[in-house]
Amino acid sequence: MWEILTNLGGFFARDPLGVAIDLADIGLVAFVIYRVLVLMRGTRAMQMGIGLAFVFLVYELARRFGLVTVWAILDAVVTYLVLIVVVIFQADIRRALMRVGRGPLWRTSTSARETHIFEEVIKASTQLAQKRVGALIVFERGASLDEFVEPGTELDAAVTKELLYSIFIPSFENPMHDGAVIIRDGRVAQAGAFLPLTVSPAIDRNVGTRHRAAIGITEETDAVVVVVSEERGAISLCVHGNIIRDLDAPSLRDALLGLFFRGPKAEMEAVKAAKPAKPEGQKADATDRKSIPGANKADT
C-alpha cells in the first residue's frame, strides 16, 4: 500500500501539463473500453470475448508454470489472435464503425416527437393485446438491421396506432401481418420483415416463433422489440437477448423511456425495474422478468 501511495505521489509531483496529458490519455482509453463493452453487452460477441479472454489467461498460466505442450499450442493461437478477432467480430466491428459514423440515433433527452412515437406504439400494442392479435414492433437503434432482417414492404410512414393496428390485422389480403414492423429514425421503415430466430439451446421449446424472432434480433443487435402474444394477449419487451413478459402500458412506457433516454447505465436498470402486470392478488411469476429459460408458453 505504501509503495502505491509513493508511486501516486511521484506521478502527481511531475509537471502539471504532463500530469494532465497522462490523465487525459488514461481517461480516453477507459472511455473507449467502456463503449466497446456497452456495444458488446448482451450479444454473442461478449460471450466469444469472454472465451478469448479465458484462452489468453490459460496461455499466461501455462507459460508461468512451465506447461510446455499447452503453451506451445496456445502460442500458435495467440500469434494469430488479431486475425481471429477480426474474423469472429467482423460484423460487430462493422456495426461499431457505422455507429461512430452515424452518431447517436436517439438523444439522451426526450422530445415531444419521440415521446409521441412511444405513445403510439404503446396504444397500438395495448389494443392488439386486447384483441389477441400478434405483433412484432422493432426499434432500430445504433446497429443497422439490414444485415440481419429479410426485407419486407418499404413504407417510410409516420408512426401511428392506426397504421400499426392495420398492419397486424390477420387477413389473406394482408401479407404484412406475419412479419415485423421496423421503426427507424422515428418512422415506420418496413412492414412484413422477417427476423432471425434465436438458436440458443437454453430456450424453452414451448416458446413460439414470434418470441424467438424477437429474442434472435436482440441477440445480434442492440434493437428493442415489443412483442404482442396472439395466444395469451400479453405484451413483452425484448432487449439484449432477454425478455420481460406481461407488461402493461405504464411499465412498457417506463422501460422504453429508460432504454432510449437514460443512457447505457440505465438500460438494464430499466429492464429490471419494469413490473409485469398481474391481476390483483396474484403474485408475479419469477420467470416474467428473467430471460427465456423456463418462461411460460408463447404463441407462434
Q: What is the pLDDT along the chain (300 residues), one digit of tens a residue?
A: 677 777 777 766 778 888 888 889 999 999 888 877 766 665 566 667 778 888 888 888 988 888 889 888 888 877 887 787 777 777 666 666 665 655 544 444 446 677 899 999 999 999 999 999 999 999 998 777 887 888 889 998 999 999 999 999 988 778 888 899 999 988 999 999 999 998 777 777 778 889 999 999 988 888 999 999 998 899 999 988 888 888 999 999 988 888 887 655 555 565 554 444 443 333 333 333 333 333 333 344
3-class DSSP state for residue 137? strand
Residues 98 and 142 in one domain: no
**Whole domain around residue 234: which residue ranges?**
112-289
Q: Residue 85: inside a domain, yes or no? A: yes
Taking the model in full, what pTM does it have? 0.63
Residues 201 and 57 in one domain: no
What is the largest distance, in Å, between two alpha-carbon atoms of the chain?
77
Report the alpha-carbon distance of residue 75 to residue 267 in Å, rounded.
39
* Residue 125 neighbours by CB distance under 10 Å: 25
Query: Per the structure block, which three cell numbers stand in for 256?
Result: 422504453
Q: Which of 79, 173, 155, 172 is nearest to 164 (CA)?
A: 155
Number of domains in the chain: 2
Last residue of a domain, one of 102, 122, 140: 102
Residues 28 and 158 in one domain: no
Residue 263 pairs in a beta bridge with none
Q: Which residue bears the cell 489468453?
A: 56
- The CATH number given to whatever domain includes residue 215 is 3.40.1700.10
Q: Residue 299: inside a domain, yes or no? A: no
Q: Residue 171: inside a domain, yes or no? A: yes
Ramachandran assignment for 139, one of left (phi > 0), alpha (psi -120 to 50 degrees), beta (any other)? beta
Last residue of a domain, one of 83, 102, 121: 102
What residues contact residue 9 under an 8 Å CB cut-off, 6+ apart?
none
Residues 152 and 133 in one domain: yes
Last residue of a domain, one of 84, 102, 120: 102
Residues 9 and 142 in one domain: no
Q: What is the pLDDT of residue 4?
A: 73
Query: Per the structure block, which three cell numbers stand in for 251?
Result: 411499465
Residues 131 and 276 in one domain: yes
Cα 161 to its chain centre, rounded Å, is: 24
Query: Per the structure block, which three cell numbers stand in for 297?
Result: 408458453
Q: Residue 298: inside a domain, yes or no? A: no
Q: Residue 17: inside a domain, yes or no? A: yes
